Amino acid sequence: MSSSLSRRQFVGTAAAAGAAVTVAGSVEALFTAQPALGTSGPKIGYGPLIPDPDGMLDLPRGFRYDILSREGTVRPDGLKVPSRFDGMGTFPDRDGGSRLVRNHECSPTSTIKVVAPPERTYDPGAAGGTSSLVVNRHHRTTKEYVSLGGTAINCSGGITPWRTWLTCEETELKAGQSGYTKDHGFIFEVDPYDDRRNNNPFPLKEMGRFQHEAVAIDPATGIVYETEDAFVAPLGGFYRFLPNRPRGGWGSLRHGGELQAMHIPGLLDMSTVQEAGTIFHGVQWVKVPDPLAKTESVRAQAYKKPITGGYKLEGCWWGTRDRCVYFVSSFARTELGPKIDHDGQVWRYDPRKGTLRLEVIFKRDKPGSDNPEFDAPDNITMSPYGGLMMCEDGIGDQHILGTTEDGKVFKFAKNTVNTGTPEDPEYGELTGAGFSADGRTMFFNVYNPGITYAITGPWRRRR
C-alpha cells in the first residue's frame, strides 16, 4: 500500500468525454487497501457506456442491472418505501444472496418519510432511518422492511467487523428544532440478521453528537474512526473513538469509551495540502471536552490543542492489508471556508507509525472551471477486482467512476433517470456502492428518486 509512484493523470481513453480534472498521487496504493482478486484495476476500464433503451442506467457492454427497490413502492406491510436513498451496507446471506441495510437521509420535509413501528422509533418527530433488504442470488428482493426509524438525516455509516451497520446522522439539531423531540447527531447500530435487536434504538452518545458521515473500524484494536461532513465554519474534524469494550460484538459500543479529535502540529486546514505524497509525522489525538455538544459543536470546542480540520470529510474505510484508515475530503472551495480549492482528496492515516499522508488529490485542469463532466468523489468502495469505485456527487450527469491499473479514471455507470444539483428536487446523486461477498454483484443507490440497483457482468474482463 506504500507505492511511491506519483502521477498526474485523468481519464486517458475517456478523455473524449471532456473531463477536466487531473488525479495526482499514488493511486496504486489504494488498489491494495483490501485483498482483491486482482491488485489493479482493469487496463482501460470496461469500455464505452451503452445507452439504456429504458432510460435508467447506462453501463458497459456485457453488464446488466436489476432494480431491487424503488421509492414509493408499496411494501407488503402496506407502507411506501421511503425517500432519499443514501449510504448502504452489504452483508452476505445464505445460498449466495445478500442483505442490505440502506440509509434514508430524510428530514421532516422529505416526500416519503420513514415510518417504523413504535418499538423501532427513536424520535417520533424525526423522519429518517434505515431499510433492510434480503436479496436472493437471482437478485430478487424477498424481504424489505424498516429496521430503524425516528432518526434524522441518515447519511452514511460503516460496516463493523461483527457484521452490523453503523448508521450516522448528519445533523446537529436538538430537541425543539424542526419538530424533533430528542437531540440528534448520533450513531445507531443496526443488525441485518436479527431484527429483534433493532428494537429500542440506542444512540451511541459517547461516540459524539455532530454531523456524522462515515466510520471505519480497526478490527485489531476496536478503535472506530469517524468523519464529520461539516459544510459551515469551523471545518469538520477527523475523530477516533476508543471503546471500553474493544473486542467488539453486538452492543459493545453501548458501553462507551473516549472520543478524540486529530491534531497535527502546524496543520489546521487540510485543504492547504496540495501535493500528493505529502506526509505528516507525529499525529496526535486530543480528548473531546464535550462529546454531546451541549453548548458548542464538537469541532468548535475549547481544545488544549487546535484540531486539524477539513471540508466535507466523507467516505471512510479500513485497509485490511496495510492496516491503515482512509478518508475522503469530497472537495474544498475558498468561498465556503477552506483556504485553498481542490476537487477531492484521499487521505491515509497509519495508526502504527502515527502518520497522515495525502494519497490522491483531484484538481481541475482549468482553475475555476465549472465543467460538469466530473465532480468530486463521495462514497468510495474498493473493487474486489482492484481499484476504486467512486460515487459522483455534484452537478449535471452523475456517474460511478472506476480507476485503472495505471491510475486513470473511467466511467462505469451513468444515471439517466435525472440530473441536477443538491438544490434540485430531482437530485440524481449516486450513493452506497458496495460488492457482494462473492464479488459478482455491485449494489448502489440513486439518491432521488430512490432506486437500489444490483449490477452484474464480466468484472474480470480487461479491455
- pLDDT, tens digit (0-9, with 9 covering 90-100), for 252-271: 999 999 999 999 999 999 99
* Cβ atoms of residues 320 and 35 within 8 Å: yes
pLDDT bucket at 381, cuts 50 / 70 / 90: confident
Helix (H) or strand (E) holding 71: none
Given a cut of 50, whether residue 39 has pLDDT beyond it is no
Query: CA-CA distance, 168 to 159, in Å (whole number)?
Result: 11
Residue 95, pLDDT score: 86
Determine the average pLDDT of the residues in 191-199. Answer: 97
Side chain identity, residue 418: N
Cis upstream peptide for 425 (omega within 30°):
no
Buried b (16+ CB within 10 A) or exposed e, 451-461: bbbbbbbebeb
Do residues 164 and 148 lie in contact, with contact meaning Cβ atoms separated by under 8 Å? no
Q: How far is CA 279 from CA 348, 352, 353, in A?
A: 9, 14, 11
Quick one: pLDDT at residue 388?
Answer: 74
Taking residue 16's Cβ as centre, other Cβ atoms within 10 Å add up to 8
Confidence tier at 359 by pLDDT (50, 70, 90)? confident
Least confident of 20-24, 224-228, 324-328: 20-24
8 versus 292: which is more confidently predicted?
292
Give 409's pLDDT tier (boundaries 50, 70, 90): confident
User: Does the structure show a pLDDT above 50 at 38?
Assistant: no
Strand partners, 97: none
Which sequence spans correspond to the domains of the chain? 1-83+365-463
What is the reported pLDDT for 218? Answer: 97
pLDDT band of 29, cuts 50, 70, 90: low
Cell numbers describing residue 7: 502521477
Confidence of residue 17 (pLDDT cuts 50, 70, 90): very low
Strand partners, 267: 264
Sequence-distant (≥ 6) Cβ neighbours of residue 366 within 8 angstroms: 20
d(CA 193, CA 89): 12
**pLDDT band, very low/low/confident/very high, at 34 (cuts 50, 70, 90):** very low
Question: What mean pLDDT is predicted for residues 205-225?
Answer: 97
Q: Give the pLDDT confidence score for residue 421 in this predicted structure.
A: 59
CA-wise closest residue to 332 among 355, 357, 314, 319: 314
pLDDT at 322: 83
pLDDT score of 362 more than 90: no
Average pLDDT over residues 99-104: 98
State yes or no: pLDDT of 27 exceeds 70.
Answer: no
**Cα–Cα–Cα angle for 218, 221, 226, rounded to 5 degrees:** 45
Tens of pLDDT, residue by residue over 92-101, are 998 899 999 9
Q: Across residues 320-327, what is the average pLDDT?
A: 87
Quick one: pLDDT band at residue 375, thresholds 50, 70, 90? low
d(CA 295, CA 5): 46
pLDDT at 406: 67
Q: Are strands 21-25 and 49-50 parallel, antiparallel or unpaired?
A: unpaired
Looking at residue 19, its pLDDT comes to 37
